Structure 1
Amino acid sequence: MGKNKSEFHRKNRNDTVNRNTLKKRKEINAECEKLLRLSSHPSYLNNLWENYLEISSCLENIRKLESVRIDAVERFDATNDFLIWLKENGAKIDNISIHKFPDYDLGLKAEKDFEENDLLLEIPKQLIFSVYRAAPELKDIQNDVMIQHMPQVALAIALLIEKKREDSKWKPYLNILPKKYCTVLYMNVKDMMELKGSPSFEPALKQCRNIARQYSYFHKLFHNNESSVSKLLGDDFTYEDYRWAVSTVMTRQNIIPSEDGSQMIHSLIPMWDMCNHQEGRITTNFNEASNSCECHAMRDFKSGEQIFIYYGARTNTEFFVHSGFVHPGNQNDDFVLRLGVSKADALGNERAELLTKINLLPISDYSLKPDQGLISGPLLGFLRIFNMTKEELHHWLQSDAVHDITKVNCEIEKSLDEKAIKFLKTRIIILLTQYPKTQEDCDKLLHSTQDPCRKLVYQMKILERNILNRILLGFEKPTKV
């Protein structure tokens, strides 16, 4: 009698758990359907901020409902197993160790003096993570439009497949990867509000929107087919895991030749991807003779020093949105300024027509770089047209030399160029009112939080402020146009 009663209670408990699980699954499915609508309809592009708020609310509901898996292995604790795995599989990593550096988390440390161009790392192709060497289950969904046309997405799904597999040969590598990132996908609504007015604001919102759409798309796919990927991930496919996988790919991907050498493919290169960024030159290449990725020293590195590599010519906005960091010494940085003809402008139609004649849009983004020396090209053309009188517009609309408007040495009134410079200076001064006024204000801002995502937002804004101030100082030079 007691045994039957115990079994009865156990069955009731199991039935309750199953009902709760089914109820939760239905709620997640409903939220994902809503998320797919919110992140897919083109009309939302007209109001990205409101769209972002709705998407964020939806994702917050999903994250509360989804079961979050906690990784038992701490990142630094996985170091020894990772290094053993590398060496056992033919990686050459002599005289280099993994070390914690202030403000960098983990990085690579030189254990001896290296001279410029010395070979630092040699990672064989068999250790390079790609869809050709990992997650064979992906072949079951290889005809899916996202998997076919978005290689970074396919790589992210491959990561999740291998992370799910208990006996994955990639476990030592997966365990050494960061548990979370400072990409915009990990930022909250308050972080994003701090970005308002920044050129990084719109790309950050669009990135969050794109990843939300991808997640909801794959959630639906994995619950509506019987592929091996669906069976492996299934109900374990969460937004928390997806944003981790996407961030891993965004912050660490590289391009190498495919197995047959016919194309370049996206990949993750263990150990090499632990090198942090510094200004310099690209010194990594794929050696087809040794079938391995080789990394050479871009400069001398002393024993005990952190080893850096150069990630390439990217702006801080690109680093901020896709890589989760900014670099104060970035020689490729700029400030993207959006300029447009107002609908209230009485001469708006004429300005738009003339802009079209020189292949410019009535509203467009222009890259401002400090220490540039000149306002030239499309920006110069826009500023001139924006400041033209009715007579000047009519003259240039009928001129055969209309494309000269973008040239510095154009036959144009000096007063027009003076107005163009004055307009740009005024615009920059107005923009600067959105930023900290003094260096002391910048320092206070940075020390006002310990949250890494919020701190990164503040760093981004301070760098933008610095660029605008440098551009403004540049106007004091004698020749600008």
Structure 2
Amino acid sequence: MGRQNKKKGLKQLSIDDRLTLQCVLDEILERCTKLPSGIPKEEWQDFLEVNSLLVKVREIEKDFTPDLPERAGKWDAFFNWCTKNGATVKHVEVKDLGNGEYGMAATELIEEGDEILQVPRKLMMSAQAAYSSRLGQLLREDPVLKSMPNVTLALFLILELSCGETSFWCPYISILPDSFNTVLYFSVSDLELLRGSVVLDDALKLHRSIFRQYAYFHRVLRTHPLAKGLPFKDCFTYDLYRWAVSAVMTRQNAIPSPGECAGFSSVLALVPLWDMCNHSGGKLCTDYDPEKDELKCLAMRDFQIGDEVTIFYGRRTNSEFLIHNGFVYPGNEHDAVDIKLGISKSDPLFSVKSELCGKHDLPQSGVFCLRSGSRPITEDLSTFLRILVLKEEPSGGNISEENIQNASDENAQAALAFLRDRIELLLRAFPLSEQDYQSIVTSTRSTPGSRNAALYRLEERKTLVAAQRLLFPLPVSGASA
């Protein structure tokens, strides 16, 4: 970015291509609006079929996506824009980390608690600002946009990108990446590396959602009277929408609303400068000063000159980082493996177990966490396993609430045995060996998607093996009685 986008628009498509595009998008919208089957093989096949339709869409649209940002050489203008509009930057500067990645680096010694960034609301691209833009009236009328502030923010980003240098946020948009490592950029072969993991369900769910949203908004921009004057109406492509959604997913932050903004007490925003800080383990050191109406970022630990200055994004698992942030954090102390469990409707005790689940605010089937560390069995997982393995209605109509990790009662032992077998099944279900995943991670020929997927599987396996060794240690060979 740095000039106004003047690529030819979709209006210049032939009539046949336009009709084909509309028909294919209508089919995508219809297929992605239906509830998924819940059967992994069927959902994977459905994804492949819809993705093949999307390939047709992208082929038709390939010459119409506006120029996306080129970051090189834009940093000085960006920092000048930030400071000119009230931001304060202390002790840090942008650092090229290689492979198109950037971060913040210390220019002098930084001590824990030192203030490094102050970013006023004026600089933030927020859903509130979107309501004051040319999108405002459409945002107030469209039912999807009214209920999804993250989508609102993505369309606002597209609007400002299409305005080129006339946009107030041009210097900020100019330093955004032109692509991301979110699962939306994964190829089919990248996604196949996730097969056997619950995270693939999350990835496919996100793809379905973005396919559906794109097809829906393409129709809105084509038919809604309020969309007629929008500058991106004729250059709205899937690649553009994927880029904007990924920018928002990887950078959004909730800030306090200065007043009632479309009924929300907080508002989603993209925060320049602050979103240049990458993640590492630590503690939350970002706050919002309501009096000065600005975001403040403090150093979470000491940093030496030249060190990359990182912040803590919060207690997130690697599956959350992979899906929403586009990276995997090795050694994540807050990591967990999701396990799908459910009570069969053919179970003779189905009604009893369902009632017990209701008493404990648990679903009859769902996803439960096996955490890393010394306490892998969460309370929800423990309670559900106790219910799942019941052979008869419990006396008194309830079960023990003691975590099965510490318990010795018969019900707890049966629950642990079930968990042991499930962990073994999950480990056997990995399609590749640990060495194969390591090779993908270290190979210079690997795509960012395959590298992230392989790294995720390594971390997932590590969590499962650690839990297995902690909960079910092998007997010491040769031990005397």
With normalisation by structure 2, the TM-score equals 0.87
CA contact (8 A) 2:334 2:372 kept: no
Aligned mates of 1:119, 1:261 — CA distance in 2: 30
Give the superposition deviation at 1:50.
Answer: 2.3
- The CA deviation string for residues 34-85 of structure 1, in whole angstroms up to 9 with x for no partner, is 1110110125555422221122111111100013436375213211211111
Name the aligned partner's letter for residue 276 of structure 1: N
- The CA deviation string for residues 263-303 of structure 1, in whole angstroms up to 9 with x for no partner, is 21000011110100011111111112222111111111111
CA contact (8 A) 1:138 1:229 kept: no
Name the aligned partner's letter for residue 152 of structure 2: A
Aligned to 2:232: 233
1:181 aligns with 2:180: yes
Name the aligned partner's letter for residue 216 of structure 1: A
Give the superposition deviation at 1:140.
Answer: 2.1
1:31 aligns with 2:24: yes
Name the aligned partner's letter for residue 308 of structure 1: T
Aligned mates of 1:104, 1:418 — CA distance in 2: 51
Aligned to 2:136: 139
Task: Report SS of the residue matched to 2:258.
Answer: coil
2:287 to 276, 285, 288: 285
Give the superposition deviation at 1:383.
Answer: 2.9
Give the superposition deviation at 1:22.
Answer: 2.6
1:366 aligns with 2:371: no
1:101 to 97, 119, 122: 97
1:110 aligns with 2:106: yes
CA contact (8 A) 1:351 1:386 kept: no
Compared CA separation, residues 196 and 226, structure 1 to 2 (3 A)? same
Q: What pairs with 1:54-453 in structure 2 (closer than 5 Å)?
A: 54-66=49-61, 67-69=63-65, 71=67, 74-102=70-98, 105-134=101-130, 136-141=133-138, 142-166=140-164, 167-228=166-227, 231-260=230-259, 263-342=265-344, 348-359=347-358, 360-373=362-375, 375=377, 377-389=379-391, 393-394=392-393, 396=394, 399-400=395-396, 402-408=397-403, 414-435=409-430, 440-448=435-443, 449-453=445-449
CA contact (8 A) 1:99 1:108 kept: yes
Task: Report SS of the residue matched to 2:416.
Answer: helix
Aligned mates of 1:309, 1:440 — CA distance in 2: 32
CA contact (8 A) 2:86 2:120 kept: yes
CA contact (8 A) 1:358 1:403 kept: no
Compared CA separation, residues 425 and 260, structure 1 to 2 (3 A)? same
Q: Highest Rg: 1 or 2? A: 1
- The CA deviation string for residues 393-428 of structure 1, in whole angstroms up to 9 with x for no partner, is 04x2xx32x333343499x98444333322211221
Give the superposition deviation at 1:430.
Answer: 1.9
Name the aligned partner's letter for residue 50 of structure 1: Q
Give the superposition deviation at 1:161.
Answer: 0.4
Aligned mates of 2:434, 2:36 — CA distance in 1: 41
Aligned mates of 1:387, 1:125 — CA distance in 2: 53
Q: Which stretch of the first structure deviates more once superposed, 98-107 or 375-384? A: 375-384
Task: Report SS of the residue matched to 1:137.
Answer: coil
CA contact (8 A) 2:357 2:384 kept: no
Give the superposition deviation at 1:315.
Answer: 1.0
Name the aligned partner's letter for residue 31 of structure 2: L
Aligned mates of 1:355, 1:381 — CA distance in 2: 13
Aligned mates of 1:25, 1:176 — CA distance in 2: 33
The runs of 5 or more residues in structure 2 that have no matched partner are: 1-9, 475-481
1:22 aligns with 2:49: no
Name the aligned partner's letter for residue 272 of structure 2: P
CA contact (8 A) 1:373 1:474 kept: no
Name the aligned partner's letter for residue 384 of structure 1: R
Name the aligned partner's letter for residue 23 of structure 2: A
Aligned mates of 2:36, 2:248 — CA distance in 1: 29
Aligned to 2:48: 53
Aligned mates of 1:335, 1:406 — CA distance in 2: 22
Q: Which stretch of the first structure deviates more once superposed, 123-132 or 70-79? A: 70-79
Give the superposition deviation at 1:195.
Answer: 0.9
Greater share of residues in helix: 1
Aligned mates of 1:261, 1:177 — CA distance in 2: 29
CA contact (8 A) 2:404 2:412 kept: no
Aligned to 1:465: 461
Compared CA separation, residues 103 and 351, structure 1 to 2 (3 A)? farther
Aligned mates of 1:340, 1:404 — CA distance in 2: 18
CA contact (8 A) 1:140 1:229 kept: no
Aligned to 1:42: 35
With normalisation by structure 1, the TM-score equals 0.87
Aligned mates of 2:286, 2:399 — CA distance in 1: 42
Aligned to 2:6: none
Aligned mates of 1:74, 1:404 — CA distance in 2: 60
Tell me the number of residue pairs that the alignment of Structure 1 and Structure 2 aligns: 451
- The CA deviation string for residues 83-123 of structure 1, in whole angstroms up to 9 with x for no partner, is 11112212111332111114781001111111111110111
RMSD: 2.6
Aligned mates of 1:281, 1:76 — CA distance in 2: 32
Task: Report SS of the residue matched to 2:141.
Answer: coil
How many percent identity over aligned positions? 31
Name the aligned partner's letter for residue 379 of structure 1: L
The runs of 5 or more residues in structure 1 that have no matched partner are: 1-16
Name the aligned partner's letter for residue 69 of structure 1: T
Compared CA separation, residues 406 and 94, structure 1 to 2 (3 A)? closer
Give the superposition deviation at 1:355.
Answer: 3.9
CA contact (8 A) 1:370 1:474 kept: no
Name the aligned partner's letter for residue 29 of structure 1: Q
